[in-house]
Amino acid sequence: MVVVFSQASDHAQAVFQMTLGRWGPYTPFLLSPAGLTLAVWLTRRFFPGAQGSGIPQVIAALHISDQRAISALLSARIAVGKVLLTLLGLGVGASIGREGPCVQLGASIMDVLGRFDTHARPRPHLRRAFVLAGGAAGVAAAFNTPLAGIVFAIEELSHSFETRASGTTLTAVILGGITTLALVGNYTYFGVTSVSLAVGPGWLAVLVCSLAGGLAGGLFSAILVRASRGLPGLAGRLVIGHPFAFAALCGFLLAALGWLSDGTTYGTGYAQARHLVEGSAHVPWDFPFLKLAATVVSYLSGIPGGIFAPSLAVGAGIGKLLAPLVPGAPAAAMVLLGMVGYFAGVVQAPITAAVIVMEMTDNQTMTVPLLATAMLAFAVSRSFCRRPLYGALAERFLIALARRPS
């Protein structure tokens, strides 16, 4: 499912780019508002629970035992809606990723399979193990990073190492990895880079990227956490009273940001990040700022879609922008450190951030600098956003479920 979803995501972005090429750069000013409005309407009408990244829903599901409540967050219906509406968002230029949705997709599939347990007595710990394994397999298959899938399950989803769930998680990740290899072959998400960072003045890059990445990532997370409690002023009243008009406004802002960035802020940001890693990209100097803004706007609109890939693109742009400040460090190393610094600042899961970037670029020589940057960025981010993003958003889902009539 993840492989099919990934290929469909690439096709949706290609269709959007073809539309721009045929009808011109002003097309998103009509297409994006209409598409985001439609996506929000479909989400509210047919697929409640599919909005946003999907990772907070999985975390929330791990903290409840009532199957009815879990079904409001994980189900076959939600999985279908998550895939279709994420594709719709990518098809109209939203700055969203597919990796977060892959976590909810994997967890939903495993939860559905877990309900076929024929034993008379329910086994909550087994259902929890299935959900955890499905989420980990989703990350592993989305990035082709099996180690990151396991670390993500421990550090972000469960926040602990569970002996009873570890075997199930490991098995799911292995089988997911084998399936991915069989279908698309062995590949690295962002290609291969052999850049290294020698001990010496070049290590100033670790400090620079961790400070910038942690600051930007922490502010990004703080905005989304604050927005989850309700936007202030006119924007908040618009969301509550006229959610579809707010979605259309977000679509217009998204188009404006795309026009200002010469089209680089549309979609996942995968192409820009990969080219930056390879040293072949020529993105505007303000790309990371505009991409960050486009991701915030896309998320606030209420459509399904993740923030993994856009965050990695923002981080790569930050590293590229800061490269001239540290002449002793290779520009490619700055890009990697920028990616891990910003990503760690956003998700506040430093080990996951370092492992994902290391595996996605097949570069073990940068392991120590990546880990150091991730840990420092995590500390900086906590100064601006005390609660981890996904945990805070999961809490909002738990509160909403508690308020539902029984």
pLDDT digits (tens, 9 = 90+) for 198-211: 777 888 999 999 99
Give the per-residue pLDDT at 40: 96
Q: Which of 91, 102, 85 is nearest to 42 (CA)?
A: 85
Superfamily of domain 2-187: Clc chloride channel (1.10.3080.10)
The two domains 2-187 and 201-394 share their CATH topology (first three levels equal): yes
Give the per-residue pLDDT at 166: 67
Give the per-residue pLDDT at 337: 94
* Domain covering 201-394 assigned CATH 3.50.50.60 in the classification: no
Give the per-residue pLDDT at 346: 94
Give the per-residue pLDDT at 120: 45
Residues of the chain with pLDDT under 70: 117-124, 159-166, 186-192, 281, 404-406
Give the per-residue pLDDT at 237: 81
Give 403's contacts (C-beta < 8 A, 6+ positions apart): none
**Domain ranges, ordered by start, for the chain:** 2-187, 201-394
Give the per-residue pLDDT at 240: 85
